[in-house]
Amino acid sequence: KQEVTQIPAALSVPEGENLVLNCSFTDSAIYNLQWFRQDPGKGLTSLLLIQSSQREQTSGRLNASLDKSSGRSTLYIAASQPGDSATYLCAPTYSGAGSYQLTFGKGTKLSVIP
Amino acid sequence: SAVISQKPSRDICQRGTSLTIQCQVDSQVTMMFWYRQQPGQSLTLIATANQGSEATYESGFVIDKFPISRPNLTFSTLTVSNMSPEDSSIYLCSVEDGWSPNEQFFGPGTRLTVL
């Protein structure tokens, strides 16, 4: 069974800092990998999708990297802002029963202090 | 990306009752999914809602407890039957957007509390 681990579980940084969130997965046979953010009590917002053939994907202040062979992905957030405070979830996609299925980590809870 | 809405956004229910959650998408999508997020935990896939056929359930989830309907390509329902406090969770539907294959987008979720 695929397992996804996210480190750290929680992170508190002052506004303006650059930070890195880590994700590791046990089965490297992924189809792609998505990063999401979840605000308290809310649904998920898709941030970035990296295809298995890609090494990096960028969107604004966010940069996600993927090392499929070692089972790792990182999410880099530049110049953090209080509005970035949320839980960040990593979800590799695997081929399942007739569809592609996401497996989620427990997330990293980020607090950006003004 | 597809815009997804869910009803109700939250509910408080009594033990032994059932609740049906609706998921509506603003465009036709092939794949729809239902997830559960228990307090303090990450998301777990309940089932894939198939249009025109029975849902495909993941290990640990059964149709009698979580019946799913998918009458067309824009709508699905999940029923949580004979509820117990252990069913208190956020239930989320997601879809694969045809414009970005295999990328999933999520609805706002339904927060269920069972007393």
Cis peptide bond upstream of B8, omega within 30: yes
Give the residue on B whose Cα is nearest the Cα of A33: B103
CA distance B54 to B66: 12
Burial of B107 from C-beta contacts in 10 A (0-12 / 13-18 / 19+): buried
Residues in chain A whose Cβ is within 8 Å of chain B: 31-32, 34, 36, 41-46, 49, 89, 91, 93, 96-102, 104-107
Beta bridge partners of A113: A14
Q: Which of B44, B48, B102 lies at the smallest CB-CB distance from A93? A: B102
Query: For position B30, what pLDDT does the model report?
Result: 86
Residue pair B66/B78 in contact (Cβ under 8 Å)? The answer is yes
Residues in chain B whose Cβ is within 8 Å of chain A: 1, 4, 6, 31, 33, 41-45, 48, 50, 56, 90, 92, 94, 96, 100, 102-109, 111
Query: For position B52, what pLDDT does the model report?
Result: 81
Query: For position B114, what pLDDT does the model report?
Result: 97
Q: For residue A26, count other CB atoms closer than 10 A to its CB.
A: 12
Q: Within a 13 Å sphere around the CA of A60, how many CA atoms are in the beta-carbon half?
A: 8
What is the pLDDT tens value at each position of chain B, 115 positions in all? 789 999 999 999 999 999 999 999 999 988 899 999 999 888 999 999 988 888 999 999 999 999 999 999 999 999 999 999 999 999 999 998 766 667 899 999 999 999 9
CA distance A11 to B107: 26
Query: For position B99, what pLDDT does the model report?
Result: 66
Query: Which residues of chain A register pLDDT less than 50?
Result: none
CA distance B9 to B21: 9
Give the residue on B whose Cα is nearest the Cα of A1: B59
Query: For position B50, what pLDDT does the model report?
Result: 83
Burial of A31 from C-beta contacts in 10 A (0-12 / 13-18 / 19+): middle
Query: For position B98, what pLDDT does the model report?
Result: 66
Chain B residues touching residue A36 (CB < 8 angstroms): 106
Angle at A4 between CA A108 and CA A96, to 5 degrees: 130
Choose the mutation target among A35, A102, A103 for the interface with B, i.e. most B CBs under 10 Å: A102
Residue pair A21/A6 in contact (Cβ under 8 Å)? The answer is yes
Angstrom distances, CA of residue B106 to CA of A19, A67, B86 = 26, 26, 23
Taking only the tens place, the pLDDT of each residue in A23-47 is 999 988 888 999 999 998 788 999 9
Asked if A49 and B103 come within 8 Å (Cβ–Cβ), the reply is yes
Taking only the tens place, the pLDDT of each residue in B45-68 is 999 998 888 899 999 999 999 999
Q: Which of B56, B102, B106 lies at the smallest CB-CB distance from A44? A: B106
CA distance A19 to A3: 24
Query: For position B111, what pLDDT does the model report?
Result: 95
Asked if A43 and B41 come within 8 Å (Cβ–Cβ), the reply is no
